[in-house]
Structure 1
């Protein structure tokens, strides 16, 4: 991928990358996912926490783009520069796997949507659904091999198209909203607010994934300042949509009824208002939205692999480019991993929810590295480089973002963290191969400790899976 002038991306295109990455399957599943865990009061608290925490993280991405313009492909580069090569690898690998799981969830949700009209697709993980998804995976694979400029242009167009139906959904629900069901839902607080809020945290992580889309493509920006601006603009716009899509259904339907709706629950909610045409309308919009998000995340996944290999944290094969300057090995591996996990959904009872949770869990470690690096980067600035007031504000933002990501790890739970280790452990072989290619030791002494913790977590996951299999 060249950084030539014809490959440079403008502020609107970068913003479309952020919005396109964030608005995908998650927003269409929000009504049911929130209703399963929380009522409207807890939902408001959840969005205040998630919105505030993610805004702090977005601000960290913004000022890191300004004070460290030398670091491209932010997610990987920040972790590597701040905490060493293995940390950089873990960040890149985790973020890449989160993107792959996200793309699997998109494929499952598309077929689940079609399953409402074509029973053979079921909940998105039947043999026919998997076969059709596989065709789609390799069709998009071919599109990616056409080049970044064509793909980002298509993504920008799809972003505009897929936002319009969400506005229609919000408008129709606003007209039909009633105080009576909302009041009843407000009184439904049997579980207590804390468990409700905790239960929604992973959902909020999933829908905010992509907030760093402009940072990942920072080396393609026409102006470095556009990276931070695109991040904040995209975040603010998407947050407004997420809050409205979550809260408005409570003003039409009771929470228990929303909680049992078929996914995508946005389609089911509009179907309750308009009947079958409402379900079909949102179903069609979801397919466009998810295809756009799939394209955006496929681009990001390939870029993360390519950039980390170029920095020698991944095997060199992923940094190789063909005659069209495309990292074909990175694109091939991404498509192959997505294909493998799409096939694996056949054995899952709730494939979409599983992929949603795995996507969120794998993204948490990279986000924690970014937030923590923000603290370290501010500390490293000379007194003359930044005013005392600006330094204090930046410190506060980075510290709050770090606390927020630690809270998300707590909300994630031990089981998902252990399952994440099952991926990080074997995945670390890629880093060891990269170190061997460079003729260097696999790990430093502190990195060996981290690696042993990761391997220990992977062994615990294998033990738990084996116990579950025997039950």
Structure 2
């Protein structure tokens, strides 16, 4: 942005930020990921749960943008306003760390894609793959330092470009779709009982969260919105458009390939599906589209992460140094730390057996924390009646339902993901708390309230349990 903080993002550009943030690596991995877990029926159940839950969260973001226009830094400010400084810090760090993990996932998938032609890249987590990823990372880093506004314009163009191969995939598979094949795949196996389907659906839950991450894109940049109402509109419309793409990309492959074949595809599995229908050029076409898509998503997420850390400093949750801006109005210190963490995660993928799956699921687990806190704040607001004195009761009741479902959905997803991801999240959050402690002392303020001490104690215990689990092999990376 410009240094004078112009409010110059219109609703189209903000919707582009939402779509650009959401459409990245995840959508290209859906056919094999769902094929390994379930059939069309389980996929429909999973998308119904995820679509409903995330739509409710989108509605929460929409009404909070209108009711709390002064909270203009997005996702963590609602947690801070509703539950105090330390909870706000956890939301900010959870969002920021999840974004950095997501960016790592993008690089792993790009190199896995190229690994089909360049064996040295393997599954995206070899030393040559990490070296090339690092080069791309720092090239984009210095481009962003030239100005966030210019990067946002590039993101809008890339968003348009990367939707084209996805739409082409959908059109070709619609033409090639075989109803009998879809019916044979429908139940995902011989068993047709509810317990079997429930187990299938659970295996897809963190994946559905991952592909929807970015729905808060417009909210994070709300301080730059030309009109405040555009934030909510961009969030909901961007979400609905992406949901349609996700469902079609998941279901249509069941009409052209058997489920075991889908499960065995190399990532990005969209390339393998299209190649099975039209030949080798289909794999090349999707692979090129993926690289464009993922680079665009990485750009969008780098902006989101740097902005989140910068804004957290403005709200006195992390040290002042992260509010520093360069001559182009870019939060440069926050950007350096963001890409430094991504670089660290990239190096760590060398030692992870299933790098893509691990970073995907950890991204989801970390991001669910701020999502839960936003929904809970929306619920607290509606139940207290704050800001509803001049509104009809029916409106307040409707928004209470949105927030309640969003809260329950986030809790359910955290539980469905499994305790091991909660412990891994604690391993990241516990040492990160040092930033909060330093920020409080920097301003000569009391570090923790009594409830915050208890919360930190629980996180520390979770971190110790996570470290023990990793050391004893109970949790395998």
| 1:441 maps to 2:455 | no
| Residue aligning to 2:60 | 60
**Alignment partners' CA distance in 2, 1:417 and 1:404:** 16
Q: Which of 244, 248, 273 matches 1:269?
A: 273
Instruction: Note closer, same or farther for the CA distance 1:382–1:68 as it changes in structure 2 (3 Å cut).
Output: closer
| Residue aligning to 1:330 | 334
After superposition, the C-alpha distances for 1:229-273 in whole angstroms (9 at most, x for unaligned) are: 000110010000000000000011111110111000000111111
**Alignment partners' CA distance in 1, 2:332 and 2:58:** 30
**Alignment partners' CA distance in 1, 2:247 and 2:472:** 40
| Residue aligning to 2:390 | 385
Moved over 4 A (4+): none
Instruction: Note closer, same or farther for the CA distance 1:93–1:256 as it changes in structure 2 (3 Å cut).
Output: same
Report if aligned partners of 2:205, 2:416 keep a CA contact under 8 Å in 1.
yes
Shift of 1:161: 0.3
Report if aligned partners of 1:3, 1:220 keep a CA contact under 8 Å in 2.
no
Q: Which of 179, 202, 214 matches 2:218?
A: 214
Q: Which of 217, 224, 232 matches 2:236?
A: 232
Moved more, 380-389 or 426-435: 380-389
| 1:354 maps to 2:322 | no
| Residue aligning to 1:373 | 377
Report if aligned partners of 1:104, 1:338 keep a CA contact under 8 Å in 2.
yes
**Alignment partners' CA distance in 1, 2:244 and 2:138:** 34
After superposition, the C-alpha distances for 1:261-308 in whole angstroms (9 at most, x for unaligned) are: 100000011111122111100000000000000000000000000000
Shift of 1:4: 3.8
| Residue aligning to 1:463 | 468
Shift of 1:325: 2.2
After superposition, the C-alpha distances for 1:316-373 in whole angstroms (9 at most, x for unaligned) are: 1101122222211100000110011101111111111110001000001100000000
| 1:139 maps to 2:143 | no
The number of residues matched between the two structures is 471
| 1:342 maps to 2:346 | yes
| Residue aligning to 2:418 | 413
**Alignment partners' CA distance in 2, 1:389 and 1:201:** 32
Moved more, 103-112 or 377-386: 377-386
> RMSD of aligned C-alpha atoms?
1.4
Moved more, 321-330 or 140-149: 321-330
**Alignment partners' CA distance in 2, 1:240 and 1:27:** 11
| 1:398 maps to 2:419 | no
After superposition, the C-alpha distances for 1:39-68 in whole angstroms (9 at most, x for unaligned) are: 100100111111011000000000000110
SS in 1 for 2:389: helix
Instruction: Note closer, same or farther for the CA distance 1:3–1:371 as it changes in structure 2 (3 Å cut).
Output: farther
SS in 1 for 2:203: helix
| 1:364 maps to 2:368 | yes
TM-score for both structures, normalised by structure 2: 0.97
Unaligned segments of structure 2, at least 5 residues: none
Unaligned segments of structure 1, at least 5 residues: none
